[in-house]
Structure 1
Amino acid sequence: MKKILVPTDFSDCAKNAEKYALFLAQKIGAELVFLHVINTPVDWSKLTKEQENIFPDAKEAISQSKQKLTELLKQAESIGIKCRKVLVFNNSNEKIHRFVEDEHIDMVVMGSHGIYGFKDYILGTNTYSMLRNSIVPVFVVKNLPKKLQLEKLVFATNFREETGQTFKIVENLAEILQVKLKILYVNTPTYFLETNDIMSIGKTFLSQYANYEHEINIIDAFKEERGIIQYGEKIDADGIAVITSGKSDLKQYFSPSVTENLIGLTEMPVISIKILKK
């Protein structure tokens, strides 16, 4: 885990993500890349210095953004974190995804407004897009925890074979983050299984894909999100990890809506890992 991307619009929720990213970077010794996207009335990169003066409002916004990015760099450097800043003009979500790939980003840390309702206004367009399309884990931070720590991470799974290779990524991520992975199966009325069956399926799955021994935890709940949050609160977890499909047709746990609902309903940071395609 060498590079963490922190997209920011300098809002309060983005500031929470910035602070959490500083904590993570210190914890694992990663480099931070602070990225800000600014919309300009024309292609700013093609303007001369004289032409920039035609758009004083945009010029002032760019100046302020550069200053705020510089302040973030100073904050990171003051605690020994390697970092850099990127200011992008008129970018799209697709270009941000290409930036992640081209710059070999290992993780994205983003903020969420955290109000349960219409997704574009809850998560923000960039966060919503990253959750569904990112090729790297996305760490979404709604509110900054009172105590910055990451020791116990709940991982919700249904032990399906198609998630096996992605589980290896989750396990490796837990090792890098130096956290205890708490494996959880939420038993719902829709996908109800008897405990013995869950344990049998879980043990078979872990024997095939896990590198370490894990305890299988089971909780009964009406909805997957409720069970994940209830268990997380019960053990005083520091975060939740879920696999996200990027489609909405993969049953139980892995539709994007489950991840988005979790972010809206819990105060804990949520890590979304996109399922690997065969």
Structure 2
Amino acid sequence: MKKILVPTDFSECAKASEKYAEFLAKKTGAELLYLHIIHTPVDWSKLTKDQEHLFPEIMESIAKAKESLKSRIKAAESMGITAAKLLIFNNTNEKIHRYAEDENIDLVVMGSHGQYGFRDHIIGTNTYSMLRRSKMPVVVVKKEIENPKLETLVFATNFQSEMGSSFAKIEQLAEELKVKLHILYVNTPNNFKGTYDIINQGRSFLKEYSNYNYDIHIVDSLSVERGIIQFLEHGEYDGIAAITEGKSDFAQYFSPSITENLISMSNKPIISLKASGK
């Protein structure tokens, strides 16, 4: 992992994601890039210096943003982290995932209000967009973690062959983050299977798609997200890895709404990765 992006609007919500991004950058040795977007009424890049003075409020916002970014870089560097800033002037509706792709980002860390309600307002427009569109993994942090730790991740899977390539990406990400994966199958009423059927299917899946041996954990629950939360409550786990997007019953583990519900229901960091080929 070479580059981590943390978009920030300098709010308390963003502060939590900044701190976690700093922790991950130090853990992996990756460069940390702070991104701040200032929405302007016109294309700022085309203005002359004289024309810029026609928008004193925007100029003040730019000056404050530069100072805030500068202080964050200084703090990161004091922790031994290589850091840089990206200040964008944007008068369009272009989303953050475009900038992440342009900068060859490996991982994006974002904040969330993390409460039940209308997704676009509660999770946050930019975070909501990144979960559904980002080609790179997105870590969603709901609250500031005083002493962050990332040694274990819970990953729920249905052991279908369609998940094979996505599982390989999760396993690779776990290697880069230096964490241990705990494989979980949530047995729901709509897709109920016998314990030994699940174990045999899981062993065949892992034999074909995994580079390591894993224990298979099974939880019976009314829904996938509820099963994951119940499993988290009975063990020492540091985060959740989730695949988003899918179709038919395959969407049981791939639906963006599952990831969004997990963000609402858990205070653990959520690492979201788009399904392969989506």
TM-score interval, smaller chain = over 0.9
Please tell me whether residue 149 in structure 1 is matched to residue 149 in structure 2. yes
Please tell me whether residue 51 in structure 1 is matched to residue 51 in structure 2. yes
**Shift of residue 99, structure 1, vs aligned partner:** 2.1
Q: Would you say the 8 A contact 1:202–1:216 is kept in 2?
A: yes
| 1:76 matched residue in structure 2 | 76
1:248-267: CA deviation from partner (whole Å, max 9, x where unpaired): 87431110000001001100
Q: Would you say the 8 A contact 1:224–1:252 is kept in 2?
A: yes
**What SS does structure 1 have at the residue aligned with 2:186?**
strand
> How many residues are matched?
278
Quickly say closer, same or farther: Cα 1:272–1:247, change in 2 above 3 A: farther
| 2:177 matched residue in structure 1 | 177
| 1:87 matched residue in structure 2 | 87
Q: Would you say the 8 A contact 2:42–2:91 is kept in 1?
A: no
**What SS does structure 2 have at the residue aligned with 1:251?**
helix
| 1:273 matched residue in structure 2 | 273
Separation in structure 1 between the aligned mates of residue 237 and residue 77 of structure 2, nearest angstrom:
30
**What SS does structure 1 have at the residue aligned with 2:109?**
strand
CA RMSD of aligned residues (A): 1.6
| 2:37 matched residue in structure 1 | 37
**What SS does structure 2 have at the residue aligned with 1:277?**
coil
Please tell me whether residue 127 in structure 1 is matched to residue 127 in structure 2. yes
1:86-142: CA deviation from partner (whole Å, max 9, x where unpaired): 011126564532322222110000000111111011111110010001111000000
Structure 1 residue runs without a partner (length 5+): none
Runs of 4+ deviating beyond 6 Å: 246-249
| 1:111 matched residue in structure 2 | 111
Quickly say closer, same or farther: Cα 1:229–1:61, change in 2 above 3 A: same
How does the TM-score come out when normalised to structure 1? 0.96
**What SS does structure 1 have at the residue aligned with 2:21?**
helix
Please tell me whether residue 191 in structure 1 is matched to residue 186 in structure 2. no
Quickly say closer, same or farther: Cα 1:2–1:157, change in 2 above 3 A: same
| 1:209 matched residue in structure 2 | 209
Q: Would you say the 8 A contact 2:7–2:36 is kept in 1?
A: yes
How does the TM-score come out when normalised to structure 2? 0.96
| 1:96 matched residue in structure 2 | 96
Quickly say closer, same or farther: Cα 1:37–1:246, change in 2 above 3 A: farther
Q: Would you say the 8 A contact 1:122–1:264 is kept in 2?
A: no
- The one-letter code of the counterpart of 2:112 is S
**Shift of residue 159, structure 1, vs aligned partner:** 0.9
**Shift of residue 277, structure 1, vs aligned partner:** 1.1
Structure 2 residue runs without a partner (length 5+): none
Q: Would you say the 8 A contact 1:106–1:136 is kept in 2?
A: yes
| 2:236 matched residue in structure 1 | 236
**What SS does structure 1 have at the residue aligned with 2:113?**
coil
Separation in structure 2 between the aligned mates of residue 93 and residue 78 of structure 1, nearest angstrom:
35
